Amino acid sequence: MRTFSKQRRLIAAAAALAMLATACGDDGGDDGATDGGGEGESETSAPAEQPEFDEGTKMAEIQEAGVLRVGTKADQPLFGVEGPSGWEGFDVEIAKLIAEGIFGEGGGENIEFSEAVSAAREDVLVQDQVDMVVATYTINDERKELVGFAGPYYEAGQDIMVEEGNPEGIEGVDDLNGQPVCSVEGSTSIDNLREMAPDAEVVALDTYSACAEELSQGNVTAVTTDNVILIGLIEERGEFELVDNPFTEEPYGIGVPKEADEFRDWVNDRLEEIYESGEWEQAWLDTAGQVTGSAPEPPAVDRY
Ligand code: GLU
């Protein structure tokens, strides 16, 4: 069981600093679309000028429009939050790095973010309300019937969050049977819960922050979804803990319109570029890594 204590955070911060020091001492051997930058700056793979794309491609269309429309989460600390200083989190940083591949350096400014709750993610793509969804969005075959996925760019696992001290002694998914448990409509988390703990009393809400509120009020015994989402809520609220016994694999993809194969290929190329340049790692260290510590190896993209 973990509560991500202050001590853990300090260890995480020290590890992040050590990694940063290593990254700074290594020029990566890239030809570098970078001007070298100042001390302590990370390398950037984004060109200073706007890249060129063939006419008629979705990349060219987005560049022409001057805006990349991105659906993300607005209430998931560490991954996607709309806060007083704007949109923040690992998903937000990934979207900005994708935007730099279209608009050049500083391209994150050209993003129009909007909230896409779990159940809305396919709809906003199918109805052309956004160009992409970067929203703790698990790649799976059922969703591939409606949308396309670049990535994965991260692998999470479903876990369980309980009240601090774990009063009901929840050790794993089986213990959720017979308990009131909150998860979110339109998520893989709620499907897995129904399948793996069929006797749980499922409370289905729109967002994980609403589930956290139910747990805080004592209306449910547990909240279940991806570990990194729960870790963000634990960190923010300081009244819960993670069971830390993940029971699924959740590869996060970037949702794109189903028929946009060329765009999907390009987003995959761009992901490989930011893996290579160290920007993916830096995005992690700046966001989720502040709590979890050093970045994992990025997963290989799946060009299906
Ligand atoms: N990754 C899971 C999903 O895409 C759960 C997290 C979420 O709902 O955003 O359904």
- Model pTM greater than 0.85? yes
How remote is the CA of residue 298 from the centroid of ligand 1, in Å?
A: 19
The confidence band for 83, taking pLDDT boundaries of 50, 70 and 90, is very high
How remote is the CA of residue 76 from the centroid of ligand 1, in Å?
A: 11
Average pLDDT over residues 71-80: 98
Answer for the pair 103, 63: CB distance below 8 angstroms, yes or no. yes
The confidence band for 12, taking pLDDT boundaries of 50, 70 and 90, is very low
Distance between CA atoms of 158 and 231, rounded to whole angstroms?
A: 11
Index of the ligand 1 atom closest to the CA of residue 135 = 9
The confidence band for 268, taking pLDDT boundaries of 50, 70 and 90, is very high
What are the pLDDT digits (tens) for 93-124? 999 999 999 999 999 999 999 999 999 999 99
H or E element: which one contains 281? helix 279-286
Index of the ligand 1 atom closest to the CA of residue 188 = 10
User: Which among 238, 241, 264 is positioned nearest to 253, based on CA atoms?
Assistant: 264
Answer for the pair 34, 43: CB distance below 8 angstroms, yes or no. yes
How remote is the CA of residue 290 from the centroid of ligand 1, in Å?
A: 21
Helices (H), 26-167: 58-65, 90-103, 121-126, 141-144
Task: Please say if the pLDDT value at position 125 is more than 50.
Answer: yes
Average pLDDT over residues 3-9: 41
Index of the ligand 1 atom closest to the CA of residue 252 = 1
Strands 147-156 and 201-205: unpaired
Using the CB atoms, write b or e for 165-195: b if 16+ within 10 Å. ebeeebeebebbeebbbbbbebbbbbebbee
Token pair recorded at residue 179: 């308990």
Q: Which residues contact 39 (CB under 8 A, 6 or more apart)?
A: 24
Q: Closest Cα to atom 9, ligand 1: which residue?
A: 136
The confidence band for 44, taking pLDDT boundaries of 50, 70 and 90, is confident
Token pair recorded at residue 241: 């803990």
How remote is the CA of residue 270 from the centroid of ligand 1, in Å?
A: 23
289 Cα distance to chain centroid: 12
Q: Closest Cα to atom 8, ligand 1: which residue?
A: 187
Q: For residue 47, what pLDDT is reported?
A: 82
| Phi, psi dihedrals of residue 193, rounded to the nearest 5° | -60, -50
Average pLDDT over residues 170-183: 98
What are the pLDDT digits (tens) for 197-213? 999 999 999 999 999 99
Q: For residue 42, what pLDDT is reported?
A: 57
Cross-strand pairs, 242: 2, 161
Index of the ligand 1 atom closest to the CA of residue 138 = 4
Give first-to-last CA distance, the chain, whole Å: 37
Place of tokens 């634990």: 234
SS3 category, 24: helix
Ligand 1, CB within 6 Å, residue ranges = 118, 135-138, 184, 187-189, 225-226, 229, 250
Token pair recorded at residue 231: 């870790």
Index of the ligand 1 atom closest to the CA of residue 186 = 10
How remote is the CA of residue 44 from the centroid of ligand 1, in Å?
A: 30
Task: Please say if the pLDDT value at position 14 is more than 80.
Answer: no
pLDDT cut 70: percent of the chain above it: 86
Task: Please say if the pLDDT value at position 39 is more than 60.
Answer: no
Average pLDDT over residues 128-138: 98
Task: Considering only residues 192 and 32, tell me which one the structure prediction assigns the higher pLDDT.
Answer: 192
Cross-strand pairs, 256: 148
Lowest mean pLDDT among 29-33, 69-73, 237-241: 29-33
Cross-strand pairs, 37: none
What are the pLDDT digits (tens) for 209-234? 999 999 999 999 999 999 999 999 99
Distance between CA atoms of 109 and 115, rounded to whole angstroms?
A: 17
Place of tokens 């703790």: 136
